[in-house]
Amino acid sequence: MEIRVSQFGHNRQTPLLDTVHNPADLRKLDESQLPQLAEEVRLDMLNAVSRTGGHLGAGLGVVELTVAIHHVFNTPEDKLIWDVGHQCYPHKILTERRDQLSTIRQGGGLSGFTTRKESIYDPFGAAHSSTSISAGLGYAVARDLAGKTNNVISVIGDGSMTAGMAYEAMNNAGAMNSRLVVILNDNDMSIAPPVGALSAYLSRLISAKPYQSMRHLAKEIISKFPPRIETAAKRAEEYARGFFTGGTLFEELGFFYIGPVDGHDFSHLLPVLKNVRDCGFDGPVLIHAVTQKGKGYEPAEKAADKYHGVSKFDVVSGKQEKTPPKAPLYQNVFAKALIAEAKHDDKIVAMTAAMPSGTGLNLFQEEFPDRTFDVGIAEQHGVTFCAGMACDGYKPYATIYSTFLQRAYDQVVHDVAIQSLPVRFIIDRAGMVGADGVTHQGSYDLAYLGCIPDMVIMAPSDELELMNMVATSATIDDKPSAIRFPRGEATGKVTLPERGSVMEIGKGRIVREGKHVAILALGTRLADCLEAADKLAAHGFSTTVADARFAKPLDVALVKNLASNHEVFLTVEEGSIGGFSSLVSNLLANEGLFDNGLKFRPVCMPDIFIDHDSPAKQLEQAGLDADGIFAKAMSALGQEVAKSSSSIA
């Protein structure tokens, strides 16, 4: 149902939705009431997200599907698993969290994804793609082992089907007899034939009991024939259905394919879902539902990105409240630097895993379309793809969010590092990421890359340093390298050249001289370190502040100088335990620099998961802001200061 401007306003009514507090209430409704309920859910979601921002287009596209699933299946006893989880806002509205939706992605509020600790209706937490079928199969096997009979439903989008993990799971599920329902939410795939009356009829027909009974009888009869005839008959039946439905690929993976069905039409959805629930399939089933991102909200339907992720917006006009950036975004500075290098070197190529605009590579692609590669949600493949190009003399830049590079760790080690291939890893979203929360925080890259032999790791303190590091990476041709930088705006305090300058590998710099405390910063926390130094000076302690620039190789002379000439030595990094501080402390220990009473304190992320909030609040909680750094130094000096109640020691 199309939402019109006249329906918006401060006095919108949702009389039917007001009676639905959980899926049990939803299941009491007559099927004829479901279109109205779906419209009210869509209105409620729009109203909430317009005030908070968040993921919108994907949720609008699955409203009817969400309502239908909860109406037909007995959630939470039946397990409903959403892939990625960014489309789960309608699900949250219907599962006892409607009153909290205005807190989504805010500090102390609802997560923007599914999470087990939030609700019994979220049986599996997710914010990275392509995990739902694996998790669903695990639930299905556990159910079978326990002798239970509940249903397991995994909803996966067509984008998530670009990742190999989805096919690994389907291959495994197809070889087993566990009953699993996979719903392919297809809002962009070209494999789907037109959805219409014939398609809907065929889907109802092949999922219904009479067809299944006849199919079972035919199997029994055919099983009496020689194996060759039995196999041929089975293939003929599968390909006949595949001819009409387009599901041959899924049939080959061992799934019983049903579809495509219109994911916005309850007269199509409900009969198929009921048939799948009631027919007792002895194996995995895939329902192919075709939906439209942004469905029912005209501004989203017309937008190129379908309002995938939005800031606060006016519901009537769709206009988003976007504050103009005060400084360039780090991702765009990277793109500027890479474009400058590529103009001088035709061997430079760039790869992204489905994040061209988020990483700035859309700008590089405009300049060099033939040298830009988007491999889809396939980080493992992407890294080895880059390794292959590096083998033949090209200079690939593997541009991946820190949290997503985790998915390709074996490839980083086995396919790149062991072979000393000069793949350049550009690690965006390093550190805190605010509202996206723990699943997207770039917390671990310093730790998981720092332990790899001969890996060069750089972290700029500002946008000029980033440009210089991109230029430097282009000269590293005998080993892998990485540059990590945070999400969001740069400092805006430096003038950028047309092209970066090459830096000396493994060489840091002293920014401020002092004699009591030494602070060695890696990355953009340098500004907070300088502010902390000002606070220390106000208490009579002069401070040396240095910019490490490189986590590997360490500037050994700089570290030894700081440790030998100061009473207290702090390292500061926006990364987890086991990262930069561990590399420095290992050097200090091996050089015997702890032997004379040096007071060393690492300042890094605490050993907990920090939930979604504003980046400033997250840094405060982690003790990585100026106050936290100051307090850590004062503690080492034996001068305790009052700490914020929200910070972590």
Any alpha helices (H) in 246-325, and if so which ranges? 248-252, 266-278, 298-302
For the beta carbon of residue 59, count every other beta carbon within 10 angstroms. Answer: 27
Residues 540 and 476 both lie in one domain = no
Residues 52 and 137 both lie in one domain = yes
pLDDT tens sequence across 79-93 = 999 999 999 999 999
Residues 515 and 627 both lie in one domain = yes
Residue 640 labelled as part of a binding site: no
Write out the catalytic residue numbers.
293, 379, 407
- What does each C-alpha distance from 362 to 271, 329, 357 come to in angstroms? 43, 14, 5
pLDDT tens sequence across 602-636 = 999 999 999 999 999 999 999 999 999 999 999 99
Please tell me the predicted confidence (pLDDT) of residue 221.
Answer: 52
Residues 392 and 518 both lie in one domain = no
CATH number at residue 546: 3.40.50.920
Residues 25 and 167 both lie in one domain = yes
Residues 469 and 516 both lie in one domain = no
Residues 513 and 477 both lie in one domain = no
Residues 188 and 267 both lie in one domain = yes
Domain final residue, candidates 254, 279, 310: 310
Cα–Cα dist 593/448, whole Å: 26
Please tell me the predicted confidence (pLDDT) of residue 196.
Answer: 54
- Residue ranges of the chain with pLDDT lower than 70? 1-12, 189-247, 642-649
Domain final residue, candidates 445, 469, 484: 484
Give me Rg for the CA atoms of the chain: 28
Residue 521 labelled as part of a binding site: no
pTM for this predicted structure: 0.88
Residues 149 and 235 both lie in one domain = yes
Residue 315 lies in a domain: no
Residue 149 lies in a domain: yes
What sign does the dihedral 113-115-121-123 (CA atoms) show?
positive
Residue 500 lies in a domain: no
pLDDT tens sequence across 258-286 = 988 999 999 999 999 999 999 888 899 99
Residue 129 labelled as part of a binding site: yes
Residue 321 lies in a domain: no
Please tell me the predicted confidence (pLDDT) of residue 643.
Answer: 57
Residue 2 lies in a domain: no
What average pLDDT does the structure give for the chain? 90
Q: For residue 419, give the nearest of 455, 394, 371 by alpha carbon.
A: 455
Q: For residue 157, give the nearest of 106, 98, 235, 82 by alpha carbon.
A: 82
Residue 70 lies in a domain: yes
Q: How many domains does the chain have?
A: 3
Residues 520 and 599 both lie in one domain = yes
Per the structure, the complete domain to which residue 215 belongs is given by 10-310
Structure tokens at 489: 């705006």
Residue 251 labelled as part of a binding site: no
Residue 25 lies in a domain: yes
Structure tokens at 320: 């988003």
Residue 230 lies in a domain: yes
Residues 305 and 335 both lie in one domain = no
CATH number at residue 387: 3.40.50.970
Residues 145 and 293 both lie in one domain = yes
Residue 379 labelled as part of a binding site: yes
